[in-house]
Structure 1
Amino acid sequence: MSRLARRALLALAALGAPWGLAAGPAAAQPFPARPITVIVPFAAGGPTDTVTRLVAEAMGRDLGTTVVVENAGGAGGTIGAQKVAQSRPDGYTLLLHHIGMATAPTLYRRLAYDPVGGFETIGLVTEVPMTLVARKDFPANTLAEAIAVIRKQKERLNYANAGIGAASHLCGLLLMTAVDAPMTTVPFRGTGPAMQELLSGRVDLMCDQTTNTTEQINSGALKVFSVTTKERVAALPSIPTSAEAGLPAFEVTVWHGLYAPKGTPAEVTQRLSQALQAALRDPRLVARFAELGTAPVAQAMATPEAHHKFWLDDIAKWKPIIQAAGQYAD
């Protein structure tokens, strides 16, 4: 190219010629321009993993890109949460976590990240009932019978959970408080491995979300004593609530929410929230959630603002409970 031609090109660029601008930063592709990764802070095969994979697939359809699920389990979900909190705040690395986001600020007195200030909220996803389940040859058939066995055998029974701070741990803590009898807790790196041990009969009892137990219950692979909600679950209509079975103090549900690292641009979190809302309207996701004993939250709750308020309220709810129990993860 001659010197004269180069000067002409530079002059056109300086004047803001459309093709000249297209080569500059202002022409960056709209979000998302590449695949998005959603971190699940628990092992593959668990209930949060199941929820995440369904949501990721549906969001990907709305966003027009692949949404990859990556498992980063351990330490009650804090390893995966830390990974996201310390990621680039560009919307391409997200976290889908459950009620543990409300308990971590109290359960963990020393964390390498800010458990509240390290994230932007995107929206709530679902509020999942829990079930009290046992190995299929457990010597009880009703909740009242199970309570009698727990009070008699106490620490001789093994209660499985996904680690301190996991939903299964919190549910078990509430159960032992409600029946006033301790059991030997056996933590695992996620609910998936814990469930495998329960199915094999090597542990006795476990609290787990309906997204992970409904199919096992219906197949007869596990015994179930109650659902931990105010009302019965449509996917398990014959299973009584804990209150119906005589233990009203044993009530807990597990909500899930989607997060981005702190500092993610508002326009990006809003786009992700729109995609989440679209996903929660997707008939395929709604139908699959129903099969697993849960349902999407109302659309008004799948927003950054509603999610943030709900999260802070739940932190305030769990703080005195954890402090009273005196059980901390560090």
Structure 2
Amino acid sequence: MFRMITRGLLGLALCVGAHGTAAAQVGASADFPTRPISMVVGFAPGGPADVIARLIAPAMSADLGQPVVVENASGAGGSIGQARVAAARPDGHTILFGSLAQATIPTLIRNPGFNPLALEAIGMVNEVPMSIIARPTFPAANLAELVAIVRRDGMRLNLGNAGVGSTSHLCSLLLLSAIGTPVTLVPYRGNALVMNDLVGGTLDLGCDQTTNNAEQIRAGSIRAYAISTPVRAVALPDIPSTAEAGLPAMSMSGWNMVFAPGGTAAPIVARLNRALLATLRDETVTRRMVELGSLPAAGERTTPAGAQAFWRAEIARWKPLIEAAGQLTE
């Protein structure tokens, strides 16, 4: 009889606990958000991730009824920003505006001080073609000539990126793998700094997202040789694709995605996703994305489950290239 009573009380406790957890999640969803939301960007102000984050933040604010404040925590290829979000309470009030860097950190950094897989995807924001660019005085007239110069000069040339693990760093690795020749890789603390040195002529080459350089390309401040997607970018119709220009192995897109800390309640994830979807229906936002050379996300990848699956697939895709390049850091 005692065992029967004990089992009954245990069953009742489990039911009450489960109901309490569900009720807490429903309550959290009903009340959320209760204060401003910090959207952490792991790169410097003015870079491509920062530009898109500041574009979507006001529209998400309008839908959520609370300010979404963009905060930059740059350095270490995006891992400093991710570490900040990983340490935050999983209540939806601190989120990460992530990028391809979130698919490289698990391979690049052996001991990051946090679990790099402990993120809850909210949804993809956009995909971005990459462009192969150079200082305005670089002597190549087209991509074939650029490849010939790289193969001839090798390590005497320098190629800037926004830091180890950044999208521009991966673009650089893929480009050099396709060409088959190493050059001197120069990490910066952000894409804007790379652009400054390219425009100023103190840096030879770059491989960067069109959101960060479409305006400079159109203005003639830098030279552009190819777009890293199978077709030309809408924002830069005069620039050939890498396939057209004779380097089909150089094919990739950057991307941005919103994440919450691991363990965030499903109702909060769903509420943030609704705000993101509302943002992606805002014609002002999407038109500006296209002007910047970016493609607004659509379809399954805008859902939490679809975004999570895509993120894990990207981790698997880039792991062999990173390891082959010997880019592991402590």
> TM-score higher than 0.5 here?
yes
Partner of 1:160, secondary structure, is strand
Q: Aligned-pair distance for 1:300?
A: 2.9
Q: Is the 8 A contact 2:28 2:267 kept in 1?
A: no
Q: Is the 8 A contact 1:89 1:260 kept in 2?
A: yes
Aligned to 1:103: 104
Q: Aligned-pair distance for 1:205?
A: 0.4
Q: Is the 8 A contact 2:108 2:328 kept in 1?
A: yes
TM-score (norm 2): 0.90
TM-score (norm 1): 0.90
Partner of 2:296, secondary structure, is coil
The amino acid that maps onto 1:44 is: P
Q: Aligned-pair distance for 1:301?
A: 1.7
Aligned to 1:198: 198
Change beyond 3 A, Cα 1:187–1:269: same
How far apart are the structure 2 equivalents of 1:60 and 1:295?
Answer: 22
The amino acid that maps onto 1:42 is: F
The amino acid that maps onto 1:82 is: A
Post-superposition CA distance 1:119-142 (Å, at most 9, x none): 111111111100001111111120
Aligned to 2:175: 175
Pairs within 5 Å for 1:222-241: 222-241=222-241
The amino acid that maps onto 2:201 is: G
Q: Is the 8 A contact 1:165 1:329 kept in 2?
A: no
The amino acid that maps onto 2:93 is: Y
Post-superposition CA distance 1:251-296 (Å, at most 9, x none): 1111111111112111111000000001011011111001011121
Q: Aligned-pair distance for 1:28?
A: 10
Aligned residues: 304
Q: Aligned-pair distance for 1:326?
A: 2.1
Largest Rg, 1 or 2: 1
Aligned pair 1:82/2:86, yes or no? no
Aligned to 2:162: 162
Pairs within 5 Å for 1:257-296: 257-296=257-296
How far apart are the structure 1 equivalents of 2:73 and 2:29?
Answer: 31
Q: Aligned-pair distance for 1:27?
A: 11
Aligned to 1:12: none
How far apart are the structure 1 equivalents of 2:159 and 2:70?
Answer: 29
- Consecutive unaligned residues in structure 2, runs of 5 or more: 1-26
How far apart are the structure 2 equivalents of 1:325 and 1:299?
Answer: 33
How far apart are the structure 2 equivalents of 1:28 and 1:283?
Answer: 27
Q: Aligned-pair distance for 1:101?
A: 1.0
The amino acid that maps onto 1:72 is: A
What is the percent sequence identity of the aligned residues?
A: 49
Q: Aligned-pair distance for 1:29?
A: 7.1
How far apart are the structure 2 equivalents of 1:242 and 1:329?
Answer: 30
Aligned to 1:309: 309
Change beyond 3 A, Cα 1:42–1:28: closer
Partner of 1:189, secondary structure, is coil
- Consecutive unaligned residues in structure 1, runs of 5 or more: 1-25
Query: Considering only aligned residues, what root-mean-square deviation do their CA atoms show, in Å?
Result: 1.4
